[in-house]
Amino acid sequence: MFMNILVIVFVLSVAYAWMTRGVFNAMLHALCVFFAGAIAFALWEPLAMIVLGLSDMPLVEGIAWGVSLILPFVILMIVFRVITDKVVKANIKSATAVDYAGGAVFGLISSGLTAGVLVIGISYMRLPSTFLGYQPVYYTSDRSGAGSLVKTDKLWLPVDSVTAMVYSNLSEGSMSSSESLKKWYPDLTLTGYAARINPGDGAARNAITEDAFKVMSSYTIGDATGAGSPKSDAVGEHSFVDINGKAITPQMAGHVAGYVVEFGPSAKEKGSKGGQVVISNGQIRLLTEKADGSTGTIFPIAAISESSDQGQYGRWLFDSEDLFITSSGGKSRIPMGFEFFVPADETPIALYVKNIRVPVGSIAANTEFATASAREKLIRSGELLTGQRVKREFDLSESVKVEDRSIARFAETVGTVLPSQLVKQRGMRINDDNEVTEGTAIFRDEEIGRSNTPQTKSLRVEKFAYGNSQRMVQVSVGSDVEGGLLSEAANKAELDEPFMLIDTDGNEYEAVGFIYSDSSDEYTIRYTPGSTMSGLNENGLPAISRSKDGQKLTLIFLVSTRVDIQYYTIGDVVQMEFDPPIGSN
């Protein structure tokens, strides 16, 4: 409702303003707006990649796609307007009726296109899924297709649809290119809103960087040529509907296309989400192409992931509202599979992961399954998701064996006692249980410790927060620790290789923070479950020196429950070998 009112007021107000300035002036401004929009859409995708790479701050990431469209549009519109005012220094006066009528027409064109760009840009920002009461894509009301995303709403004044139509058609017309907007974004006005359908009414991440994931492999079930049908054992007995509301039944001709995506540490949620990867069916989409060159959007019907039981995998249908796929445990790299039903007359050409486009032609290792039962065996064994990974080889030549559980241990303490009010003042986040969920801060010795903090438990912070399927491991690597950052093994490691724990199954867990203190009066804590540390050259990591006494550095890791930790490494170089493994006794 509010979006409709705002759009109407904006369009009519701007149109009226240009109506009063005459047809010629309004025409010049409409041309400025038109060309600014054309160039902004051409720059949109590559510029968004640049903005996403500038910072890992949630704010920057959440607005990257929207700002990358709106900001160049506004700047170009101003630049073009300044140029036209310099070149054309006088207005042309026409008859009053012509000025008013023509000015109103061109005013509506410019205001409509401007409003359309703004609405589309805002749709790709991290905002509540029902922001301003407008949600053009949502779960179908058809019970037989429960969980499917469909087109649901339009603006009373459909400026977004009109703007998308204008520039999409131009991208394959007089302003055509090999990478046309119409081809790669056939549902431009919907996909941004679809990505907002996630936990917490759009609170989860709606965007990630290109290097946050990798599409490892693909597979098909049924005849990909469309000659056969996947029947019920591929699609399942549950019916789905496509984005246009058309029913997808087990009897339809077509095939199931599956893609295995490995998410890295930087794809995890930040803050109170516990450092997990969270995906909704609106954040993964498949782009398909028909024989006539037209393209369309397909959302997944199912996902495959590791369950809350370590080492157990399952397939989950998107057959109900608010069904989100969440990683379990603390592994640094999370493989997930996504399955789409592809009609017989369509061919997949690109996979979008939180709006990052991956051409299907670049995805290796396509496996063809005649039936779903053959695929099911690989799901249960985990081979479908993990079979493509090459086991890492480790260098143990300089490692030390550690038996002392005070050096590496399961622990969730912050190492001291902190006043909750001070923790919040320093920019760290805490939950309702007064546990640190995220942040970096420096404290002075006289501000912390039991003697300097309130006695009331509700006013103190003593622990870190983490997910139900995780455990926290703290490893001491200070100047006085054998196998620490002054060891021969550490000198052998590359500066940009991550700190990792390795369990007995070869799973990797990268460091998510540290606790540091020395002979000075400062105490430093960093805890970022959604952003792992890059290694010895990590910005903000204190330097450990042989000439400075009393340097205590503890690395923080989140690992899966019920695992045994065997190694602490920097990249491939093992620093400590735990004997017995941590967790085995």
Write out the DSSP string of 279-314: E-TTSEEEEEEETTS-EEEE--SEEEEE-SSTT-EE
Q: 251 — phi, psi (to 5°)?
A: -90, -5
- The predicted-structure confidence for 439-472, as pLDDT tens digits, reads as follows 999 999 889 988 888 888 889 999 999 888 889 9
pLDDT at 91: 64
With residue 65 as reference, give the H or E element that holds it: helix 58-87
CA dihedral 339, 344, 346, 349 (to 10 degrees): 40
- The predicted-structure confidence for 31-75, as pLDDT tens digits, reads as follows 999 999 999 999 999 999 999 988 878 889 999 999 999 999 999
Helix (H, G, I), strand (E, B) or coil at 362: helix
Q: How far is CA 573 from CA 231, 394, 399, 402, 479, in A?
A: 50, 6, 8, 16, 19
How many residues comprise the chain?
A: 585
pLDDT at 302: 93
Whether the pLDDT of residue 174 is over 50: the answer is yes
Taken in order 104, 106, 107, 109, the sign of the CA dihedral is positive
| Residue of higher predicted confidence among 100 and 14 | 14
**pTM, full prediction:** 0.85
pLDDT at 490: 93
Helices 58-87 + 23-54 axis angle, to 10? 150
Tell me the pLDDT band of 231, cut-offs 50, 70 and 90. Answer: very low
d(CA 577, CA 63) in angstroms, rounded, equals 43
- Say if CB 69 and CB 114 are below 8 A apart: no
- The predicted-structure confidence for 414-432, as pLDDT tens digits, reads as follows 999 999 999 999 999 999 9
Eight-state DSSP code of residue 493: S
Average pLDDT over residues 321-329: 89
The neighbouring-strand residues paired with 384 are none
The pair of three-digit structure tokens given for residue 574, joined into one six-digit string: 């093992």
- Say if CB 501 and CB 557 are below 8 A apart: yes
pLDDT at 232: 47
d(CA 77, CA 33) in angstroms, rounded, equals 6
The neighbouring-strand residues paired with 289 are 295, 347
Whether the pLDDT of residue 196 is over 90: the answer is yes
Average pLDDT over residues 561-585: 90
With residue 4 as reference, give the H or E element that holds it: helix 2-19
Average pLDDT over residues 117-134: 94
Whether the pLDDT of residue 236 is over 90: the answer is no
CA dihedral 307, 388, 52, 69 (to 10 degrees): -90
Whether the pLDDT of residue 105 is over 60: the answer is yes
Strands 149-151 and 508-517: unpaired
The pair of three-digit structure tokens given for residue 301, joined into one six-digit string: 């019907």
Average pLDDT over residues 246-251: 78
